[in-house]
Amino acid sequence: MATRETYDRVIDDLAADIVGKHTHWNVDGAKETAWFICRELERFRGKLIDRYIAVNNEIKSDYMNDVEGLLDRHKVAAAFMIAFLEIIEFPPEIENNHKAVNGKLSLYVGLSLMATMIRGGLKKLERKKESGEPFCGAEYQGYKDIVEFLERHDGDFVLPNVICDEPAYRHTWALELHYAREKGLLFALSIANELFCIETYNRQLAKVEIAGKRCQRDGTALPQ
């Protein structure tokens, strides 16, 4: 289990990210919503961390053979998402302007955390490489590719296109989380699986981008 300082840093980084990016949300009242979220993060910091730790322990005790082991990043992000969904309450004026705002916030939290942990995974492998320790070259290249892909997309994951124009994938996912919270049906493993699928989708997109650049360089066509 990580230290309290690590959890504090997660919340501090999230607040800074919200303040820095809210101008790109393209919704009415974005500034007010961003500052409200930051105030609530500070007000409920202890409860958020305590609930995350509780969900983390529940996942280990219910689904892992080694209860002292570490959760993978998808389950860690899912546990934080559940903590935010359960603890942060939005006033009616914000709920009315932003449908399923609690679901959208939890998605922001989960995807941001997952991106941070992926970058941390690359740094860990880079340290091994620099120190001469053994490491898996394919794993290193996979991390490098996805981190560079995220950087090309403003540090965010690309979500799949939907068959119809509305609503977008992110909004539909936020609605799912919103109503699951209302009905008491939040399930960490389901959320973790969705996060895993999003990471896998982005890793595949990264491979396609790299292959496309290689074909462009070599004057060949992508295989169908």
> How far is Cα 153 from Cα 155, in angstroms, rounded to an integer?
6
Q: In the prediction, which pLDDT does 130 show?
A: 94
pLDDT tens digit sequence for 1-60? 567 788 888 888 888 888 877 666 666 677 788 888 889 999 999 999 999 999 999 999
> How far is Cα 218 from Cα 220, in angstroms, rounded to an integer?
6
Q: What are the boundaries of each domain within the chain?
A: 4-218
Residues of the chain with pLDDT under 50: none
**Model pTM score:** 0.89
> How far is Cα 56 from Cα 61, in angstroms, rounded to an integer?
9
Q: In the prediction, which pLDDT does 173 show?
A: 93
